[in-house]
Amino acid sequence: MTEYAIEARDVAVTYADGTEAVRGVDLLVETGEFFGFLGPNGAGKTTMIKTLVTLLRPTDGSVTVNGFDAVAEPRSVRATVGYMAQETSVDPELTARENLRFACDAYGVPRGERSDRIDELLALVELTDVADKVADDFSGGMKKRLDAATALVHRPPLVFLDEPTTGLDPAARNRLWEYFRRINDEGTTVFLTTQYLEEADQLCDRLSVIQDGAVVAEGTPETLKRRVGGEILAVELADPETSDRAVAIAREEGVFADGATIEPTEVGLAVTARDARTRGTDLLVALRDAGIDVTGFDVRAPTLDDVFLAVTDDRSGGESTSADAAPIETVGNGGDSSGSDGRTGPGETGGKR
Ligand SMILES: Nc1ncnc2c1ncn2[C@@H]1O[C@H](COP(=O)(O)OP(=O)(O)OP(=O)(O)O)[C@@H](O)[C@H]1O
């Protein structure tokens, strides 16, 4: 087993119409990791996944998956990955067992191994009791569980999950999380994209945030949250029109430690600071003295939502930028140009078989 399940260097993908969907992306995912890939709509996540599973060819850079070159050895890559796409692959007219049998056919699972493999997967995703019912009668969560199982029939060491829980209720989502944890605990490397940042926080060992085709932040959920720079004090004002004045007061020297981020919100203002908790009452007193009515406040630890907003706002072209731009360390494209091994141009394969 190679050290890295995914090694992507300086990857660019440009569509035929000239859209540069992915630009200079580096990704290193260790074998056994639960890795998250986050970003706003249109950031390039699906394009990157499709490149990693060899459905798209990189225009530039190098992609190695499970030790195989994605351009030169796409079949080997495909034989060693599972892919749960956004669109379901479940056939509603077939039973759960028949769907899995069909997937075994598609992936060339040896005949003698199929029955045991299918029983094992049905048990893993807790569909044994309904194995012989048609998938059309399943709830959304059950269909997703079956979908995930079909991506695993060939026991891939690496599985890609593209927004696997979108549209599910919290209970169904929780059940899938348990299942994903279980397959990761059993040694499968997982590459997950999701719109639910709590999902990434709960599941991922490490993650990257992509925007406009480039990676803008990466790290463990804990490191990224720590980089937000303290806790968050949210203040609600009786009259949101007073929020600019309130922000000016909060920004006055001496209220919060250096490095604080102070922004207006729809209902008042938000302060991100190392001393948000201890100095919060000073702000409330200052606001009262200035005749600004406070109707509520809350101090909380940062979440991945805060990380996401900070790094993506940072790159939003200066709409709401201020001197207090969020102090998240972002990731540059770096100077690593090691991805030019033999690739000769857009869409061309670099050689060896
Ligand atoms: N076949 C295509 N031809 C041209 N442009 C495309 C094509 N597919 C995607 N794009 C563009 O490439 C960019 C990245 O799209 P992609 O689907 O990879 O983003 P995403 O992060 O997966 O978004 P979402 O969260 O909405 O699924 C977008 O600007 C999109 O419009």
CATH number of the CATH domain containing 133: 3.40.50.300
Q: Are 27 and 6 in contact (CB under 8 A)?
A: yes
**Span from the CA of 335 to the centroid of ligand 1 (angstroms):** 26
**Span from the CA of 71 to the centroid of ligand 1 (angstroms):** 21
Ligand 1 atom closest to the Cα of residue 46 is: 22
Same domain, 40 and 139: yes
**Span from the CA of 21 to the centroid of ligand 1 (angstroms):** 6
Same domain, 135 and 263: no
Among 223, 239, 254, identify where a domain stops: 223
Ligand 1 atom closest to the Cα of residue 44 is: 18
pLDDT digits (tens, 9 = 90+) for 308-343: 888 886 444 433 333 333 334 344 333 333 333 333
* Mean local confidence (pLDDT), 138-158: 92
The residue nearest atom 24 of ligand 1, judged by CA position, is: 41
The residue nearest atom 2 of ligand 1, judged by CA position, is: 15
Helices (H), 235-332: 243-251, 276-289, 304-314
pTM for this prediction: 0.80
The residue nearest atom 28 of ligand 1, judged by CA position, is: 42
Is position 21 within any domain? yes
Tally of structural domains, the chain? 2
**Span from the CA of 52 to the centroid of ligand 1 (angstroms):** 15
Looking at residue 1, its pLDDT comes to 55
**Span from the CA of 347 to the centroid of ligand 1 (angstroms):** 18
pLDDT digits (tens, 9 = 90+) for 71-115: 999 999 999 999 999 888 899 999 999 999 999 999 989 999 999
The residue nearest atom 1 of ligand 1, judged by CA position, is: 15
**Span from the CA of 85 to the centroid of ligand 1 (angstroms):** 14
Q: Domain containing 271: what range?
A: 229-301
Is position 339 within any domain? no
Residues within 6 Å of ligand 1 by CB:
15, 17, 19, 21, 39, 41-47
- In this predicted structure, which of 72-81, 121-130, 206-215, 306-315 has the lowest mean pLDDT? 306-315
Is position 337 within any domain? no
End-to-end, the C-alpha distance of the chain in Å comes to 20
pLDDT digits (tens, 9 = 90+) for 216-233: 999 999 999 888 778 999
Q: Are 299 and 231 in contact (CB under 8 A)?
A: yes
The residue nearest atom 13 of ligand 1, judged by CA position, is: 21
For ligand 1, pick from 11, 17, 19, 209 the residue to mutate: most ligand atoms within 8 Å of CB.
Answer: 19
Is position 325 within any domain? no
Distance from C-alpha of 267 to C-alpha of 305, rounded to nearest angstrom: 18
Q: Across all residues in the chain, what is the average pLDDT?
A: 86
Is position 323 within any domain? no
Among 223, 240, 261, identify where a domain stops: 223
Which 3 state secondary structure label does DSSP give 98? helix
Same domain, 132 and 216: yes
| Half-sphere exposure (Cβ direction) of 203: Cα atoms closer than 13 Å | 33
316-325: long-range pairs with CB below 8 Å, 24+: 320/263, 322/263, 324/251, 324/260, 324/261, 324/262, 324/263, 325/261
